[in-house]
Structure 1
Amino acid sequence: MDRVIEQKKWNSKRLMTIGGVVTIVALVAGSIFFTSGKSKLNVEVERITINEVKRAPFQEFIPVNGIVMPITTIYLDAVEGGRVEKLFVEDGTDMKAGQPILKLSNTDLELSLANEETTVFNVLTQMQISHDNARQNTISKLNQTAEVESTLKEAERVYNLDKGLYEKKAIGLQEYQKAVNDYQYALRRRKLTAQIMSQDTVSTRQSDQQSKESYQHMKSTLELMRKKVGDLTVRAPVDGQLTSLDAEVGQNKTKGQRLGQIDVLSGYKVRVDIDEHYITRVFNGLMGDFMLGDKTYKLKIKKVFTQVTNGRFQVDMQFIGNMPKDIRRGQSLQIRLALSDETQALLVPKGGFYQQTGGNWIFKLSEDGKTAYRTDIQLGRQNPDYYEVMQGLKPGDRVVTSGYENYGDMQELVLKK
């Protein structure tokens, strides 16, 4: 008798087929689930830096380096060239105004001075001779004038006498006419003599004036020459310390060559180098400060040098209030130069996050502190310590400020302790 063979409903082949389909479906579902959600990354808290966003006083400033310099420096240049004949002092000596520093010798200049002195003395002698001759000439003309006056008086006396005698018919016409002629001649001669004396006086005065002017000019030239020879002895122009003396006995110095400098030690200033990026924001009156020991000292810009060299420009800053007692020329100072007034602002500490985000977003922690998610922000001003937050964060928010190099395009960080 035939027996009906019952087929198995769940054979191994069917089970394997169903298992494969389920696996494929699970993989597709998992892929869809994970790609449609946020990408996450586990991060250990000890490996990152977390800071709190806070509202606090903010001032935009830049760190700059300054060098302490004397408040006034006077450079010593060779007014005249020559050979160094003698050094009176050494470098670093405290000088008084007018005190000699070194002496140069210049034979040509000294010879020119001797020739100029000889010329001036010759001119002076010639002027004296000319003056004596003019005086003798004047005396001679005065004698002539006196003689003419005497002759006129005598001719006038004879004329008056003969006129009376002629009117009385005591003398003839011929004798009377001679007296008239003599008197008129004497009058003309006196007038001519007066004109000559007047012209002589004017001529003598002009000659004396010209001689004096010529002598004064030559005397001025002589004084200038003497000054040039005197400049061969280099002297301190003011009280101060002699520094950077560059001269040795026997060394030749050309005209205008730098010999050294005098530093006026009545006070100090600070010469500061600044990146040219800030040249439009730096002006007279900006304040800065620095720490020396346990005290803070203030500085103010008093002069801006707008010339840019190797991407940097310089400013001079003066001390405001007390100046450090132990400060020395050439000392370096680390200065905070303020570019704005102090205001209240929302601040986030600086960190490596900025290099990857450009300040456009940041990882902000959730309230429970277990995760940090990407948040868009906008930053404004900055100083070496903080960024100013314009929007995207509020006081009390906690953010990850360390570098994001290893996070790629992650949207969320899972913080593991």
Structure 2
Amino acid sequence: MDRTLPKKKWNSKKITTIAGITALVVLITGSIYFTSGKSKLNVDSERITVSEISKGKFQEFIPVNGIVMPLTTIYLDAAEGGRVEEKYVEDGAMMKKGEPVMRLSNTDLELSLANQETAVFDVLTQMQNTRNNAQQNTVSKLNQLADVDNGLQEAERKYVMNKKLFEQRIIGSQEFKSSENEYKYQVRKKKLSERILSQDSVSVRQQLKQMNESYDRMSNALQLMKKKVGDLIVRAPVDGQLTSMDAEIGQNKNKGERLGQIDVLSGFKVRADIDEHYITRIFPGLTGDFQLGEKQYKLHIKKVFTQVTNGRFQVDMEFVGKAPGNIRRGQTLQVRLALGDETTALLLARGGFYQQTGGNWIFKVSNDGKTAFKVDIQLGRQNPDYYEILNGLKPGDKVITSSYETFGDVQELILKR
């Protein structure tokens, strides 16, 4: 006999349907939650760096590498080209002014010197001959003038005497006129002789003057040539240490080629390379400091070289006060170069967070230390240790300064211990 069975309220089909609906609701809810800007991420607090915002002294500076150099360096260049024949000293030697460093040889230059000496000797010989000829010519002209004076005196005597005799009618007019003409002729002859002698003297003086000037020019050229030959022996221009010597016996050196340098050991300076990004902010007078041993030393910029090479430019810095006693040429110093005066500011320790945020926001830790959330910030100046905070944080706030690379786009961090 058939009987009616009671209907089941929870069959497998119904359970499956309800489970599917529930899962869909959970999925939709989770999607809405995670896309609503309130995503969270669990973070191990031991794997992050938390820094506290503080108020203190801030100075903008950049780290630069400086090389210790002598305060004054004199370069040794080849004044004349030639072959290196002899080296008197080696690199690193202490030199006195005028001491020889090396000797070069230049056959063409030495031959030119010999030719110049010969030319000067020829001019000098010609001058002596000209002077002797002029003296002989002058003596001859003076003898002629003496003869003219004697003839004039005799003609004048006859003229005066015949004039008296003619007035007394003792002699005739013909004899008187003859003596008068002779006298006038001797007067003109003397004037002409004196004029010739004067012109000849002027001509000789001009000729000798020109030859003297020519001799002086050639003598000066000879002295210059001797100096050029003398420059084949390279000498120390000042007292100091010979460094960077680049010459070997038998090597040919061109005119103007660098042979070495003399470092004047009266003091030291520091030459630093700086990124061209800062070229508009670097000027003489800026100060820097460095640590050597347990003591701090200060420097100031003396000169700025504005030429940019491979994205960098150079500055020369001098010590403020006494330089360290144990400092050496070529030593590298880590210098902190200040770009401004020291001021009071809110300080944020530098960290890897900046790579992901660009300094526009940061994760701020809650008061209970269990969570961290995004806050917008504004940064100002910076140095290798700190950022200057202009807005968004206050003293005592704690923020995460380590890298955010693994955080993705989450808005809140759950800090687990």
Contact 2:364-2:374 within 8 A present in 1 as well: yes
- 1:72 & 1:95 partners in 2: Cα distance? 15
- 2:127 & 2:375 partners in 1: Cα distance? 100
For structure 1, list consecutive stretches of 5 or more residues without a partner in the other structure: none
| 1:27 matched residue in structure 2 | 26
Range with bigger deviation, 37-46 or 367-376:
37-46
Change in CA separation of 1:362 and 1:143 when aligned onto 2, cut-off 3 Å: same
- Counterpart residue type for residue 147 of structure 2: E
Matched, 1:351 2:374: no
Runs of 4+ off more than 6 Å: 5-8
- Counterpart residue type for residue 303 of structure 1: K
| 2:408 matched residue in structure 1 | 408
Secondary structure of the corresponding residue to residue 280 of structure 2: coil
Matched, 1:398 2:405: no
| 1:174 matched residue in structure 2 | 174
Sequence identity (%): 65
Contact 2:37-2:411 within 8 A present in 1 as well: no
Range with bigger deviation, 66-75 or 131-140:
66-75
Range with bigger deviation, 28-37 or 284-293:
28-37
| 1:122 matched residue in structure 2 | 122
- 1:183 & 1:97 partners in 2: Cα distance? 78
| 1:225 matched residue in structure 2 | 225
Q: Give the number of equivalent residue pairs.
A: 413
Per-residue CA deviations over 1:156-201 (Å, capped at 9, x if unaligned) read 2222222222112122111211121111111111111121122112
- Counterpart residue type for residue 157 of structure 2: R
- 2:294 & 2:222 partners in 1: Cα distance? 62
- 1:413 & 1:191 partners in 2: Cα distance? 127
| 2:288 matched residue in structure 1 | 288
- 1:415 & 1:32 partners in 2: Cα distance? 23
**1:306-325 superposed matches below 5 A:** 306-325=306-325
- Counterpart residue type for residue 140 of structure 2: S
- Counterpart residue type for residue 64 of structure 1: V
Secondary structure of the corresponding residue to residue 161 of structure 1: helix
**1:144-163 superposed matches below 5 A:** 144-163=144-163
| 1:378 matched residue in structure 2 | 378
Alpha-carbon shift at residue 24 of structure 1 (Å)? 6.2
Change in CA separation of 1:63 and 1:166 when aligned onto 2, cut-off 3 Å: same
| 2:139 matched residue in structure 1 | 139
Alpha-carbon shift at residue 216 of structure 1 (Å)? 0.9
Alpha-carbon shift at residue 105 of structure 1 (Å)? 2.1
Per-residue CA deviations over 1:42-95 (Å, capped at 9, x if unaligned) read 223222111111221211111111111112222222222222222221221111
- 1:220 & 1:391 partners in 2: Cα distance? 77
- 1:83 & 1:32 partners in 2: Cα distance? 86
| 1:389 matched residue in structure 2 | 389
- 1:50 & 1:230 partners in 2: Cα distance? 73
| 1:63 matched residue in structure 2 | 63
Secondary structure of the corresponding residue to residue 296 of structure 2: strand
Per-residue CA deviations over 1:274-324 (Å, capped at 9, x if unaligned) read 122222222222221111111111112222222222222222111121211
Secondary structure of the corresponding residue to residue 72 of structure 2: strand
For structure 2, list consecutive stretches of 5 or more residues without a partner in the other structure: none
- 2:203 & 2:21 partners in 1: Cα distance? 139
Change in CA separation of 1:18 and 1:332 when aligned onto 2, cut-off 3 Å: closer
- 1:288 & 1:114 partners in 2: Cα distance? 59
| 1:90 matched residue in structure 2 | 90
- 2:63 & 2:28 partners in 1: Cα distance? 56
Alpha-carbon shift at residue 213 of structure 1 (Å)? 0.8
Secondary structure of the corresponding residue to residue 69 of structure 1: strand
- Counterpart residue type for residue 259 of structure 1: L
Range with bigger deviation, 255-264 or 197-206:
255-264
Change in CA separation of 1:171 and 1:65 when aligned onto 2, cut-off 3 Å: same
- 1:157 & 1:53 partners in 2: Cα distance? 131
